[in-house]
Amino acid sequence: MKALIFEHFGGPEVLQYKEIPDPSLVSGYILVRTKAIGMNFADIYRRRGNYHLAGSPPFILGYEGAGVVEQAAPDVTHVKVGDRVAFVDVPYANAELVTVPVDRAIPLPADIPFEQAAAILLQGMTAHYLVNDSYRLQAGEQILVHAAAGGVGQILIQLAKSKGAKVIGLTSSESKRAVAMKVGADEVYLYDSDWVTQVAAYTEDQQGVDVVYDSVGSTLMDSFAAAKTKGTVVFYGMAGGDPPRIDPRMLMDTSKTLTGGDLWNHITSLSDRIERSQQLFEALRQAVIRIDDLTTFPLSEGADAHRLLESRKSTGKILLIP
């Protein structure tokens, strides 16, 4: 099979598109021929050496995708050859063939394109637990979404609007502001502005938002400043650097809440994955979520895809197509 591999850590130039042996099929696994592969910042971090990679070179990136079952181990009975499936948290996805644990194989309905499945699952399930579990968002509440033009940010805005929330976004440029406004944000401010003051002034009582979704990390104290008394900050990423230490006395004095979020604590079984994915697929059908801003690269041009994602000039999801 062909795969996008690298043999040592570094920039996008270390990536190579090469012929390597097909993966071996073992008990409890299926072999999937990929049709679309989702890219995420974790791929950048792993390529650079910031995240631990098990095994030895050649390394293969990628953890999210969709395709067709080509083989199934003899003990796999509920998935058959020819089935359409999608997956997240499955390594070595940047390849034509991927072995997928059967308990992570999400059935893909015929009316959901492979590209949409690869674009929505990881970031969509993240947005889903953020508005339903980390903080159960209610109609009429006011929220602030960091990185509003990113993959999670765009879906988070749309799910929040479907619940009747008022959404304020934060982006790094006017072009990204336009993207966040297009998917439904009520207002969007730029990071290089006095956004804490602007957010408070925009809220109905000028006291701040009910909840802030912070995926940047280094902005955590400003997020608290933008949250009203008795408000909540949901911390779920560090794209902008490590967060500062939080003094519990500040939480006591302001009656504010800090909670964390990690997707893998919310999808611990196949039934979790299927339930959340089905809700996302239905949201696509009903146009509650729209994923129009897809950028695709042939898998053979994966290095260029990495350059674009690393530049932070992209909006929405980047896909690799075998």
Angle at 253 between CA 197 and CA 190, to 5 degrees: 20
- pLDDT-derived band of residue 49, with 50, 70 and 90 as boundaries? confident
- pLDDT-derived band of residue 184, with 50, 70 and 90 as boundaries? very high
- pLDDT-derived band of residue 316, with 50, 70 and 90 as boundaries? confident
For each of the domains in the chain, give its residue range(s) and CATH number, in order of start. 2-120+267-321 (3.90.180.10), 139-260 (3.40.50.720)
Print the SS3 string covering 105-147. Answer: CEECCCCCCHHHHHHHHHHHHHHHHHHHHHCCCCCCCEEEECC
pLDDT at 312 over 90: no
| pLDDT above 90 as % of the chain | 87
The string of pLDDT tens digits covering residues 93-138 is 999 999 999 999 999 999 999 999 999 999 999 999 999 999 999 9
Distance CA 286, CA 277 (A): 14
Distance CA 212, CA 210 (A): 7
Q: Which of 151, 132, 102 is nearest to 274 (CA)?
A: 102
Please tell me the predicted confidence (pLDDT) of residue 61. Answer: 95
Side-chain-side CA neighbours of residue 155 (13 Å)? 24
The amino acid that residue 19 corresponds to is E
Side-chain-side CA neighbours of residue 310 (13 Å)? 16
Please tell me the predicted confidence (pLDDT) of residue 17. Answer: 97
Tokens of 228: 């009203």
Tokens of 239: 């794209």
Please tell me the predicted confidence (pLDDT) of residue 314. Answer: 75
Give the mean pLDDT of 290-313. 91
The string of pLDDT tens digits covering residues 209-242 is 999 999 999 999 999 999 999 999 999 988 888 8
Distance CA 251, CA 166 (A): 24
Distance CA 31, CA 178 (A): 41
- pLDDT-derived band of residue 151, with 50, 70 and 90 as boundaries? confident
Please tell me the predicted confidence (pLDDT) of residue 53. Answer: 72
| pTM strictly above 0.85 | yes
pLDDT at 30 over 80: yes
Tally Cβ neighbours within 10 Å of residue 38: 27
Backbone angles phi, psi at 82, to 5 degrees: 100, -15
Please tell me the predicted confidence (pLDDT) of residue 242. Answer: 86
Please tell me the predicted confidence (pLDDT) of residue 147. Answer: 94
Distance CA 220, CA 225 (A): 9
For 37, which DSSP code? E
Distance CA 258, CA 299 (A): 40
The amino acid that residue 314 corresponds to is S
Please tell me the predicted confidence (pLDDT) of residue 241. Answer: 83
Distance CA 152, CA 231 (A): 22
For 194, which DSSP code? -
Please tell me the predicted confidence (pLDDT) of residue 307. Answer: 95
- pLDDT-derived band of residue 273, with 50, 70 and 90 as boundaries? very high
pLDDT at 15 over 80: yes
The amino acid that residue 254 corresponds to is T
Please tell me the predicted confidence (pLDDT) of residue 299. Answer: 98
Burial class (CB in 10 A: 0-12, 13-18, 19+), 279: middle
